[in-house]
Each structure stands twice: as structure tokens, then as C-alpha cells.
Amino acid sequence: MTVYVGLGGNMGDSAALFAQALRDLEEAGLWRVQAVSRLWRSPAWGFEGPEFRNAVAVVETDQQPQALLRAMLDFEARAGRQRGPSMGSRPIDLDLLAWEGLSVDEPGLTLPHPGTPTRRFVLEPFAELAPQLELAVLGRVDRLLELERQRDPNCWPIEQSWWTA
């Protein structure tokens, strides 16, 4: 199955950590990376903190959604992510954004990710890879991005290569 994964972080070398996450989960046999977006930067969202780096990856997997999510959360913890009651700075954040052909609404996992339509830092890299992807209930990625660009001007591409297969 084709899965879209959001990568974010604002502590340390985000690009290196994103690449490590993609490679580690691939080497563990959990997915095969098909494509990655450019790196984007944006201000901290919902709290005061350093700027974030964000990207989106397209992966192929034969895993079930909950199993893949657990593996992603395990990687976050190994990378130093500490989850708390509120959002804050973090070395890495891995999110399942969409699972092609699947909608999920269960404890701990909703697909497509319900925050996507109001997060330009997710939509910009997502639109690089799948602009016409229709997200169940939410809408098409490129149309969501058009609306969010009008609301939020604070997201910029970083012209650097960060991923090598």
C-alpha cells in the first residue's frame, strides 16, 4: 500500500534525523521509500520555540496501520522525542498523513490525519508529491493548500538536498 508520512522537527539536525528514520524503517523491512519532498521551514506552531523543518515521504508498505504507527513512535522515542500533555520542541515527529484507499478512525489513529487541512507546513511538501490526491472527507491536497496559503503565509522551502536513496 502507498502511505504518506509527515516528518517534522525543530531540535538538532532535522534533515539528518529524517533521513535516518526513513532508512532505519526501510532497513527493518517496514517500508520502501518511493519519494521525498524538499525540506520546508516554518515557525513553531502553537508554542514559542525554534523554527521547524518539515518534509513528506511516500512509502510502500505491507504493514497494518497500527503496526506501522507503533514502529514510527518507537523510532521517535529512540531519537529522543518525549511526548507530553502539550506540544513543544522535539527532535522528530513522524505522522501517518494518509494511507491510499483507507480511512481509519480508531483510538490513537485517524487517517487521513485530521490536522492536515490547517497545516501549511504539511501541505506544501505533501503537494510536491501528490497534489491531486483526494483525502477522504478532507479534500484534494492542492485545493487544501490553496486555502491554507491564503490563511498562513509562514512556510518556506529550503533549497538543499537532504535525501539520497
Domain ranges of the chain: 2-158
Q: Are 39 and 52 in contact (CB under 8 A)?
A: no
Beta-bridged to residue 39, according to DSSP, are 158
How many Cα atoms occupy the beta-carbon half-sphere of 111 within 13 Å?
Answer: 21
- Stretches where the chain sits below pLDDT 50 are none
Residue among 76, 143, 92, 153 at smallest CA distance from 116: 143
Q: Supply the pLDDT for residue 85.
A: 60
Answer whether CATH 3.40.718.10 is correct for domain 2-158: no
Q: Distance (Å, rounded) from C-alpha 55 to C-alpha 119? A: 12
Note the pLDDT of residue 119: 95
- Return the pLDDT at 31: 98
What's the confidence (pLDDT) of residue 80?
85
Model pLDDT, residue 128: 96
pLDDT reported for residue 162: 82
How far from the centroid of its chain's Cα atoms is residue 43's Cα? 16
- Count Cβ atoms below 10 Å from residue 116 Cβ, excluding itself: 22
| Distance from C-alpha of 129 to C-alpha of 7, rounded to nearest angstrom | 14
For residues 93 and 53, the answer to whether their CB atoms sit within 8 Å is: no
> What is the pLDDT, as a whole number, of residue 83?
77
- For 82, other C-beta atoms within 10 Å of its C-beta total 9
